[in-house]
């Protein structure tokens, strides 16, 4: 398993001190959050994935409502919502009077702008924590682990240069290459076809000009976190892929990607990714919880 220190030490050597400090802090923080989520997921292991997603949707909704309640002008939101309702009814009640209808419509647009403006402060406050939650959930719900005995691809994207450098792939004993590496020069990409003998979490290593970079692979395991990519890091990338540290800046490798199969949920007649049910469930939970939590949204 990749350690957090590996990438960060190298990153910090290439970047201004302050930025590397931020990245260090961020890596530690994300690592902490990652462990916290691991703990949550371990506790909820007996539950089906959709139930776990529902629990997170409810928690997200409750957390967001509390933030909305404390960071927005609740009285103003209530007033603006009433005004929106009044304008909608005005259009219906006085539909015989075009002047009233037009005026109501203009009033409605004004009220809607006010409503969105009122929603902006909580949106600003919620952005960072929700991105953190999203990053975690994406790592855990976006992909399924690869299956033992089935091929999967490992791709490395390399930085600009005249020719593709020699990159060696060092595999643990339970993983083996099923085809020679494919080098796509125009794309500056090298692909390997790999198979796993058994389930587990493994680290494969790319060796390039004496530099060794690892990438975690989850095979048929019930590990909660599956990060498909490891990329050259910045703050946003770290938030989005929190379970592995970013690749060092200035290195030749820009990204290592494992082609995991997508994880789909059965929702009635549909098979959908995690984001749609999560968004719908948070909205439903928020609507149900807004009264008990006294939050106007």
Partner 1 sequence: MQAPQRHWRNSQRARKLFVRMSAAVLSILIFAPPAHAYVGPGAGFAVVSSFLTWLLATLQAIFALLTWPIRQFFRFLRHRRAYRKAQTKRTIILGFDGMDPVVTKRFIEQGKLPNLARLREKGTFQTLATTLPPISPVAWSSFLTGVNPGKHNIYDFVMPDRRRYLPELSSARIRGPRRCLRIGRYKIPLSRPRISLLRKSTPFWHYLAKAGVSCSIIRVPVTFPPEKFPGVLLSGMCVPDIQGTQGTFSFHTTRSSREESGSNRVVVPFAKHEDWFHSYIPGPPDPLRTDSRAVLRAPFHVKPVVSKRRAVIRIDGQQIEISEGKYSEWVELKFRAGIGPNVKGICRFYLKSVEPHLELYATPVNIHPMHPALPISHPLTYSVYLAKLNGLYATLGLAEDTWALNDGFLTEDAFLEQCYLIHEERERMFFDALEKTSQGVCVCVFDITDRVQHMFWRHLPKADDPNSETGPETPNAIEALYTRMDQLIGRTMEAVSRDDLLLIVSDHGFKGFERGVNLNSWLHQHGYLALRQGAPSGDWFQDVDWTKTRAYSMGLNGIYLNVKGRESMGTVEPGSEATALRAELCERLQGLTDPENSRVAISRAFDAMKAYRGPYRENAPEVIVGFGEGYRASWDSAQGRVTSTVFDVNSKAWSGDHCIDPGLVPGILFSNWKIAGERHAITDIAPTLLSVFGLKVPLHMDGKTWAMTPSGSGPALQRP
Among 3-11, 118-126, 150-158, 163-171, which window interacts with partner 1 (CB under 8 A)? 118-126
Q: Is 123 in the site for partner 1 (CB under 8 A)?
A: yes
- Dihedral Cα 202, 37, 137, 1, nearest 10 deg: -10
Among 15-23, 56-64, 179-187, 195-203, which window interacts with partner 1 (CB under 8 A)? 56-64
Burial of 66 (0-12, 13-18, 19+ CB in 10 A): middle
Q: At closest approach, how far in Å is the CB of 133 from partner 1? A: 9
- Measured distance CA(262)–CA(166) in Å, rounded: 31
Q: At closest approach, how far in Å is the CB of 65 from partner 1? A: 7
Q: Is 126 in the site for partner 1 (CB under 8 A)?
A: yes
Beta carbons of 168 and 208 less than 8 angstroms apart: yes
Q: Is 282 in the site for partner 1 (CB under 8 A)?
A: yes
Nearest alpha carbon to residue 205 among 195, 217, 197? 217
Helix axes of 74-93 and 98-141: crossing angle, nearest 10 degrees = 130
- Measured distance CA(142)–CA(137) in Å, rounded: 8
Contact pick of 84, 154, 175, 258 for partner 1 (by CB under 8 A): 84
Contact pick of 8, 15, 53, 65 for partner 1 (by CB under 8 A): 65
Nearest alpha carbon to residue 295 among 154, 126, 139, 107? 126
Name the helix (H) or strand (E) containing 178.
Answer: strand 175-184
What are the distances in angstroms from CA 162 to CA 3, 158, 194? Answer: 32, 11, 28
Binding letters toward partner 1, positions 215-244, x by CB under 8 A:
---------------------x---x----
CB-facing half-sphere around the CA of 251: CA atoms within 13 A: 29
Q: At closest approach, how far in Å is the CB of 280 from partner 1? A: 10
3-state secondary structure of 195: strand
3-state secondary structure of 66: helix
Binding letters toward partner 1, positions 133-162, x by CB under 8 A:
-x----------------------------
Total residues contacting partner 1 by CB under 8 A comes to 59
Q: Is 51 in the site for partner 1 (CB under 8 A)?
A: no
Contact pick of 5, 13, 28, 95 for partner 1 (by CB under 8 A): 95
Q: Is 279 in the site for partner 1 (CB under 8 A)?
A: yes
- Measured distance CA(19)–CA(255) in Å, rounded: 21
Q: Is 208 in the site for partner 1 (CB under 8 A)?
A: no
Closer CB to partner 1, residue 126 or residue 171?
Answer: 126
Q: Residue numbers of the site for partner 1 (CB under 8 A)? A: 60-61, 64-65, 67-68, 72, 82-102, 104-105, 108-109, 112, 115-116, 118-120, 122-124, 126-127, 130-131, 134, 236, 240, 275, 279, 282-283, 285-287, 291, 294-295, 297
């Amino acid at each position: 398993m990749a350690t957090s220190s590996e990438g960060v030490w190298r990153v910090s050597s290439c970047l201004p001190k302050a930025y590397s400090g931020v990245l260090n802090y961020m890596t530690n923080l994300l690592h902490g959050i990652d462990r916290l989520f691991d703990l949550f997921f371990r506790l909820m292991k007996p539950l089906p994935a959709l139930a776990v997603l529902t629990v997170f949707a409810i928690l997200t909704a409750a957390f967001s409502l509390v933030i909305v309640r404390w960071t927005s002008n609740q009285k103003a939101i209530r007033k603006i919502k009433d005004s929106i309702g009044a304008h909608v009814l005005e259009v219906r009640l006085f539909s015989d009077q075009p002047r009233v209808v037009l005026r109501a419509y203009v009033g409605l647009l004004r009220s809607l702008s006010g409503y969105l403006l009122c929603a902006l402060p909580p949106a600003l406050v919620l952005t960072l924590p929700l991105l953190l939650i999203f990053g975690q959930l994406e790592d855990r719900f976006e992909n399924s682990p690869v299956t033992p005995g089935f091929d999967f691809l490992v791709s490395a994207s390399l930085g600009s240069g005249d020719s593709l450098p020699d990159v060696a792939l060092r595999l643990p004993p339970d993983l083996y290459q099923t085809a020679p590496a494919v080098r796509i020069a125009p794309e500056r990409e090298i692909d390997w076809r790999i198979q796993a003998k058994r389930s587990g979490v493994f680290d494969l290593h790319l060796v390039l000009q004496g530099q060794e970079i690892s990438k975690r692979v989850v095979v048929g395991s019930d590990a909660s976190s599956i990060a498909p990519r490891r990329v050259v890091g910045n703050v946003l990338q770290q938030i989005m892929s929190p379970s592995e540290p970013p690749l060092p800046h200035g290195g030749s490798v820009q990204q290592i990607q494992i082609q995991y199969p997508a994880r789909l949920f059965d929702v009635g007649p549909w098979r959908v990714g995690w984001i749609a049910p999560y968004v719908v469930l948070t909205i439903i939970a928020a609507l149900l919880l807004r009264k008990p939590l006294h939050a106007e949204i």
